[in-house]
Amino acid sequence: MNNSKTLDTAKTQAEQLLAEKGVTLHTKNEFLVNSFVLKKVFKQLMEQYNSPAMTINACMSTIMPLSKTTACMALSLLNDEGLLAYCESDFAVVPACMLLRYISGRPIFFCNPCIPYNGVTTMAHCTAPRKMDGVTSEPARIMTHYESDYGAAPKVEMSKGQVVTVIAPNFQATRWIGFRGKVLKNPDHPICRSQVKVSIDGDWRKLREDVQGFHWAVCYGDYLSELGYALKRVGIEWQDLSTGNSAEKF
């Protein structure tokens, strides 16, 4: 952050982002500028270790004091560039995000689930990609990170009517539940910034009974059959709620 060239580049990148159609700023501009500096640091680390993927743990205690922003926006931008970047270092769901990313060719929304009810569920997090289809940037409000009310995080408006694939792995990474959904709306509840309410194509009561784990993986498109084909080769139990397949080990 003491490098004037790096800071000037980050300021220009922030200006370019805010000039995009559908993007508005609802936090301090310096938080957004610092997010581009942090993105550069993350990308340099990935290049140093020749890694296409990264995850970060304890962001509020490790990153925020150094970067003067949150990791949310930087992770979102990295995913939009085709890399794999997730928060919280939850290794129950990170493998699901990686597999779904490589099957679909599209960025993954790593998110917190809400309890399913009446055939719908809401999923939310502060690190959603904007290029959920891999090409087009969805509209977004750049806000603070919800829990800290600090930094920069995108509230991405996902396309209504869009079909999505959702994976819910258990804590032991031995059993995955999957279902197909459809985006109904982007609510504005007092929870993590990017929020998407989806209809559940399948037995939502069974989902509520069987689900384990803190995080889910969400992707534009329907890739349930491809996931089942891949998982039978690694011994992970697969329960596809949208086709009625039982949670059997292939």
CA 28 to chain centre: 23
Tell me how many domains the chain contains. 1
On whether residue 250 sits in a domain, the answer given is no
* 200-214 average pLDDT score: 95
CATH number of the structural domain spanning residue 221: 3.20.14
On whether residue 249 sits in a domain, the answer given is no
On whether residue 245 sits in a domain, the answer given is no
On whether residue 103 sits in a domain, the answer given is yes
* Residue 243: both structure tokens together: 């086709």
Report whether 150 contacts 144 (CB < 8 A): yes
- Of 89-103, 205-219, 236-250, which gets the smallest average pLDDT? 236-250
Of the candidates 129, 145, 182, 130, which has an alpha carbon nearest to the alpha carbon of residue 28? 145
- Give the per-residue pLDDT at 243: 83
- Give the per-residue pLDDT at 245: 57
- Give the per-residue pLDDT at 178: 97
- The band of 249, judged by pLDDT with boundaries at 50, 70 and 90, is very low
Name the residue range of residue 102's domain.
4-240
In our burial notation (b when 16+ CB lie closer than 10 A, e otherwise), range 148-181 reads eebbbbbbbbbbeebebbbbbbbeeeebbbbbbb
Which DSSP helix (H) or strand (E) runs through 184?
Answer: strand 175-185
**C-alpha to C-alpha distance for 153 and 142, rounded to whole angstroms:** 6
**C-alpha to C-alpha distance for 219 and 132, rounded to whole angstroms:** 7
On whether residue 248 sits in a domain, the answer given is no
CA angle 162, 175, 239 (to 5 degrees): 50
Is residue 205 scored above 70 in pLDDT?
yes
